């Protein structure tokens, strides 16, 4: 079975990033999470830019372990509304089956995702 590389996915699928040019990535494609089903475990980080950047940076310190678990990091954007549970900061771990396995309104340690 084909394994996704975290760096490749991050480069090719900045899928939930806002459309504004400040972050650079393209807007969410309607079928991105479906495309990742059974291929990867998305971690979706939603919220204010500074909190999103801090959470992504903290997770990227564990790139190899996340890659081994086929985790991809997706950031906030206009396609994320269906995943929100109110305003503010949210981190969601979505399983390969597409179900939400963990939801947090506070920053999450890589160990919480890897366990």
Average pLDDT over residues 97-107: 95
The tally of domains found in the chain comes to 1
**CATH code of the domain covering residue 91:** 3.40.30.10
* Mean pLDDT, rounded, for 10-18: 39
Report the C-alpha gap between 97 and 94 in whole angstroms: 8
| Chain segment 30-87, per-residue pLDDT in tens | 567 888 899 989 888 888 989 988 998 899 889 889 989 998 888 876 667 788 888 9
Q: Does any domain span residue 1?
A: no
Determine the Cα–Cα distance for residues 27 and 29; give it in Å rounded to an integer: 6
Report CA dihedral (74, 113, 90, 42) to the nearest 10 degrees.
30
User: Considering the domain boundaries, does residue 61 fall inside one?
Assistant: yes
User: What does the alpha-carbon distance between residue 45 and residue 55 come to, in Å, rounded to a whole number?
Assistant: 7
Partner residues linked to 43 by β-bridges:
73, 93
Dist CA 69 CA 73 (whole Å): 12
pTM: 0.74
Model confidence band, residue 24 (pLDDT cutoffs 50, 70, 90): very low
């Amino acid at each position: 079975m084909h394994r996704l590389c975290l760096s490749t996915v991050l480069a090719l699928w900045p899928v939930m990033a806002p459309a504004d040019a400040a972050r650079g990535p393209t807007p969410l494609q309607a079928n991105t999470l479906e495309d990742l089903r059974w291929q990867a475990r998305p971690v979706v980080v939603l919220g204010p830019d500074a909190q999103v950047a801090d959470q992504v940076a903290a997770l990227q310190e564990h790139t190899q372990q996340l890659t081994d678990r086929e985790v991809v990091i997706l950031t906030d954007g206009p396609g994320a509304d269906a995943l929100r549970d109110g305003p503010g900061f949210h981190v969601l771990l979505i399983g390969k089956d597409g179900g939400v396995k963990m939801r947090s309104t506070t920053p999450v340690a890589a160990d919480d995702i890897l366990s």
